[in-house]
Structure 1
Amino acid sequence: MCIRDRIKALADVCEKTLKDAGEPPHHVEGHRGGTWILLDFSSVVVHIFNEEAREFYDLERLWSDAAPVDLSGVLTEN
């Protein structure tokens, strides 16, 4: 499976899982290019990148001064 197919598969599973939990996506971008996908569920945003796109957008640098948020109280295992 090529990286584009893997990115799409990850996005599809994420979208279905959240949709099944009652959280349909508010907005989806990048799915046609095959190098990155952004899924905006309003309460959470999911970015899926290939390595080159991840280096280009460098989100870790953009968010490096953000305060960590403990989600252990809201996350559950299925």
Structure 2
Amino acid sequence: MKMKEIDILNTIADIIHSKKGYNILCLEVKKNSSMTDYIIICEGHIERHIKSISDEIEKKLKNIKVTPLHIDGNRNSPWIVLDYLNILIHIFRPETRREYKIEELYKDAKIVNVKIKERKRHD
């Protein structure tokens, strides 16, 4: 059975959160873009953190038979994009996100409220 888009979006947001990614924003851009249906934007602290988030998304989605068409960026990049055709994931350093202002390109897009699983804290 194929996963619904919202379930994949929730899974991606949960993976980002589990890897300590932050400022997660999911936009439905079907009416605003011919390239994709959804865009997820988030931040990581440093390049290594961004790469770690990207690797985890790729690994976990591969486990559910969802593979990227293309990945742009590498372990030294302040911005990595994972292209899943109908979902684009942008992982930024905070200053790079502020510089490129991707959200402003889609200011009329609908915000999708993704659900992140609550995790128990281990003290």
Could you tell me the TM-score, scaled by structure 1's length? Answer: 0.78
User: CA 1:55/1:16 → structure 2, altered by over 3 Å: closer, same or farther?
Assistant: same
RCO higher in structure (CA 8 A, sep ≥6): 2
Report deviation, 1:67: 2.7
Per the alignment, residue 73 of structure 2 pairs with 30
Could you tell me the TM-score, scaled by structure 2's length? Answer: 0.52
Matches within 5 A, 1:33-52: 33-52=76-95
What are the ranges of 5 or more consecutive residues in structure 1 without an aligned counterpart?
none
| Matches of 1:5 and 1:32, distance apart in 2 | 6
**Which has a greater percent of strand?**
2
What are the ranges of 5 or more consecutive residues in structure 2 without an aligned counterpart?
1-44, 118-123
| Matches of 1:39 and 1:52, distance apart in 2 | 19
Work out the number of aligned pairs and report it.
73
**CA offset digits 1:2-61 (Å, max 9, x no partner):** 711100000000111111111111010022542010000112111000011101110111
Quote the sequence identity (%).
Answer: 37
| Matches of 2:96 and 2:105, distance apart in 1 | 14
